[in-house]
Each structure stands twice: as structure tokens, then as C-alpha cells.
């Protein structure tokens, strides 16, 4: 399946178009379109997106080619395999979900979190901290670190970077930035492939809404 692009590199497709590729060629969908390769919908111009990833690169030491967005701000609508979330359109409140693929960055991030977890055993955690611990274990199945729900005293440099990027408003507004950090491209791809499998399974079982010509 071939898709059209506008002059800024935004892909022109509908939820139905994307789901057709989920069924016909999911690996090409992930490699060619979802893991970079297009100008994210949240950025009006390709140059603004380049400015965004270069600003992150300068602050992290991660090459711009190892940075990309995922989620609704990238493709215009969500494909998260969750009821009430799938096929919903990007909004003014949608986060910029940043993917960082870099082994040293991942290792530093994970080391800080594990040191904190050693000092704070799961048996002592309550409420949101307990929920976040469980979510981190799920992410670790895919060799993924996320900055969502982090203890406030860890990964301070990363937090400062995210706060600084948010204020620059490269996409035209001060959207929140959240990060998914992987040690390598295979891990990042496997996470997306799993999401695609869950999306298709949910639709075929009637647990998720089938796609339409327009996002919801």
C-alpha cells in the first residue's frame, strides 16, 4: 500500500488506511512509517520538527537520528490498543511522546531507577508509587524505560531537559513531553509490534472499535 505525503512530509492517511496495513504488512508499517520517517502531525513544518530533535540532541548527547515521536502527535490519531483511546484524534492537550534509542542513555536512566528501587522496596510503596513500580516491570519486558511516574529524586538531568524542551514550543504550543527510552532499535520495534498485535486482536474480538475514515 502506498500513501501520499504533503509538502512538509506529513503522511496523508485515515484510520482505515493504517489498519489495512496492520493486516497486510505490519512490519513495513512499523519500520517505514511509525518509527520515524514522516513529519509528525503536531509540527506544522518539517524544519520545526528538525529544530525539536536537534534541541533534544544537544541536551542529551543522543544523535537526532535516534530520536522520533510516537502516538497521536506523530500520525494524527492514537493506535493505543485501549478501549476509549484507539483512533482518537490528536488534540491540543496530547503529549509529545518522544522515543530515545541509545544504550548509554538507557543504562544511566535504568541504573538510577534501580538504585532508588533498591533503597525503596516494593513492599514499602503505596498508592501511585506502587502502581508506577508495576508499570515499570511491564515496560522492562520490552527493555523500555519511561519517565512517566518516576520518583521525584531520580533522573533529574532528564527532567530538566524535558522541562526546557517544553518551554521552546517548537510545535507551536507548550505540549507536555514524555519519553520512552530503549537501548536499541530492535527493542523499540518489538514494543510497537506488540501494540499492533494487541490492536488487531482487540478489533477482531470486538473489544476495540473498528477504524473509520476519520479519527474519533
Contacts 24+ apart (CB under 8 A), 20-28: 22/196, 22/199, 22/200, 23/200, 25/1, 26/193, 26/196, 26/197, 26/200, 27/193
What are the residue ranges in the chain where pLDDT is below 50?
Answer: none
> What pLDDT does 204 receive?
97
pLDDT tens string 173-188: 889 999 999 999 999 9
H, E, C per residue of 30-72: HHHHHCCCCCCCCCCCHHHHHHHHHHHHHHHCCCHHHEEEECH
Query: What's the whole-model pTM score?
Result: 0.94
> What pLDDT does 161 receive?
94
Q: Domain ranges in the chain? A: 4-204
Euclidean distance between CA atoms 39 and 148, whole angstroms: 24
> What pLDDT does 170 receive?
87
How many residues are given for the chain? 216
> What pLDDT does 97 receive?
96
pLDDT tens string 10-40: 999 999 999 999 999 999 999 999 998 899 9
> What pLDDT does 37 receive?
84
> What pLDDT does 171 receive?
87
> What pLDDT does 33 receive?
94
Amino acid at each position: 500500500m502506498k500513501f501520499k505525503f504533503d509538502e512538509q512530509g506529513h503522511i496523508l492517511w485515515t484510520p482505515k488506511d493504517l489498519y489495512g496495513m496492520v493486516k497486510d504488512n505490519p512490519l513495513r508499517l512499523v519500520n517505514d512509517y511509525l518509527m520515524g520517517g514522516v513529519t509528525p502531525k503536531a509540527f506544522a513544518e518539517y524544519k520545526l520538527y528538525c529544530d525539536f530533535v536537534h534541541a533534544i540532541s544537544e541536551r542529551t548527547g543522543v544523535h537526532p537520528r535516534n530520536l522520533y515521536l510516537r502516538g497521536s502527535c506523530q500520525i494524527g490519531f492514537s493506535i493505543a490498543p485501549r478501549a476509549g483511546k484507539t483512533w482518537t484524534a490528536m488534540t491540543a492537550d496530547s503529549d509529545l511522546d518522544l522515543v530515545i534509542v541509545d544504550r548509554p542513555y538507557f543504562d544511566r536512566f535504568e541504573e538510577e531507577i534501580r538504585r532508588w528501587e533498591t533503597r525503596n522496596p516494593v513492599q514499602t510503596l503505596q498508592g501511585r508509587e506502587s502502581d508506577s513500580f508495576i508499570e515499570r516491570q511491564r515496560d522492562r519486558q520490552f527493555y523500555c524505560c519511561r519517565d512517566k511516574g518516576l520518583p521525584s529524586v531520580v533522573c533529574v538531568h532528564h527532567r530538566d531537559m524535558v522541562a526546557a524542551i517544553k518551554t521552546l514550543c517548537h510545535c507551536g504550543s507548550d505540549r507536555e513531553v514524555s519519553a520512552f527510552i530503549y537501548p536499541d532499535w530492535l527493542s523499540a520495534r518489538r514494543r510497537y509490534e506488540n501494540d499492533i498485535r494487541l490492536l488487531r486482536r482487540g478489533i477482531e474480538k470486538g473489544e476495540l472499535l473498528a477504524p473509520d475514515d476519520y479519527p474519533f
